A and B are shown apart, each in its own frame.
Chain A
Amino acid sequence: MSQAPDSPDLAPLRRQDHAAFEALVRNHHRPMLAVARAIVGDSLAEEVVQEAWVSVYRNLPGFEGRSSLKTWLFSIVSNQAKTRLRKEKRVIAFDDLSVPDTGVDYLDSGRFHAGNGHWKTPPPGWHLDSPDQLLEQSQLQHCIDHTLKVLPPQQRAVFLLRDIEQQELAAICNILEVTESYVRVLLHRARLKLMQVIDRYQETGEC
């Protein structure tokens, strides 16, 4: 699995170097797509993000680096998506919180004793308990990919932006036009879902 990239060298990107651009796409396409999906929904997201990449490519020579490259990429796709949404005059209502959250049973009250709030089912122990050990498990990678795919759109976008792209909460609020408290709720839910995927994997070796 490839490393999450930090800050790539800007010079080759400004020259629109093929390999550098390809790496940029590989490393940021998924989160860009997640942003588009969270704003315009599944059916238009693909088109919006393709459009965004064309615009990124065209504007790279003039990128001055006043914001970070990632922030710039996300603002392009976010603006593209918002413009598209206005054009379509459609309101896409996302209400991730109303989606029944099966699989976040760390937040279920059934997991705790009603009276004292102690764990009724405590978190299980992990025999693989370092990032290196987890990274070696290819079946686990597959399970994580699958889970990311089925997260509700806003949850997925918030999670990728924060935990993979390391964007500030305030930046995420701007990109997705949501409040910070909402971002924090979505983020926590997404993390716990992934944690449970790891719980299950440690126990059964499967998703």
Chain B
Amino acid sequence: MLKCKDIAHEASDYVEHHQHWWRRLLFRLHLFLCANCRRFVRHLRLTRQFIRRRGAPASPQEVEQVLSQVESRHGGSTGAQ
């Protein structure tokens, strides 16, 4: 029987299907019996979905810096407008 502590350590491997099938089965059995761990795994999934959707866009200053660097190296403006 897995412990909650094991669940906390291996939850990423579980949500990404990186466990051996036997380990996965034990994991699911624990989740079936333990509401705290179900919540933990649900929050981990939700965290990933949320972060995925928000992305990590660069600031306008960062973008500007790259564009001016590229322009200066190409002796003109970047591409057709």
Show the binding face of A for B, using Cβ within 8 Å.
Answer: 1-5, 15-18, 21-22, 25-27, 29-31, 50, 53-54, 57-58, 106-107, 109, 111-112, 116-119, 122-123, 125-126, 129-131, 134-135, 141, 144, 148, 160, 163-164, 166, 184, 187-188, 191-192, 194-195, 198-199
B18, A184: Cβ atoms closer than 8 Å: yes
- Chain A interface, >50% SS class: helix
A16, B11: Cβ atoms closer than 8 Å: no
Given A18-B79, A31-B56, decide whether A131 and B46 contact each other with a Cβ distance below 8 A. Answer: yes
B39 / chain A contacts, CB cutoff of 8 Å: 122-123, 125
Total number of residue pairs linking A and B with CB closer than 8 Å = 146
A184, B13: Cβ atoms closer than 8 Å: yes
The 8 Å CB contact of B55, one of A2, A122, A125, A191, is A2
B13 / chain A contacts, CB cutoff of 8 Å: 184, 188
B73 interface residue, CB < 8 Å from A?
A: yes
Sorted from nearest, which 3 A-B pairs have the closest CB atoms?
Answer: A117-B3, A4-B55, A16-B79
Q: Which residues of chain B from 53 to 68 have a CB within 8 Å of any chain A CB?
A: 53-58, 62-63, 65-67
B12 / chain A contacts, CB cutoff of 8 Å: 184, 187-188, 191
Apart from A30-B57, A53-B70, list 5 A-B contacts with CB within 8 A.
A4-B56, A5-B55, A107-B9, A160-B56, A163-B51
Given A54-B73, A135-B54, A188-B11, decide whether A195 and B65 contact each other with a Cβ distance below 8 A. Answer: no
B9, A25: Cβ atoms closer than 8 Å: no
**Shortest Cβ distance from A198 into B: residue:** B47
Rounded to whole angstroms, the CA-CA distance of A143 and B69 in the bound complex is: 30
Per-residue 0/1 for B1-32: is the Cβ within 8 Å of any A Cβ (1 yes, 0 no)?
00111101101110000100000000000000
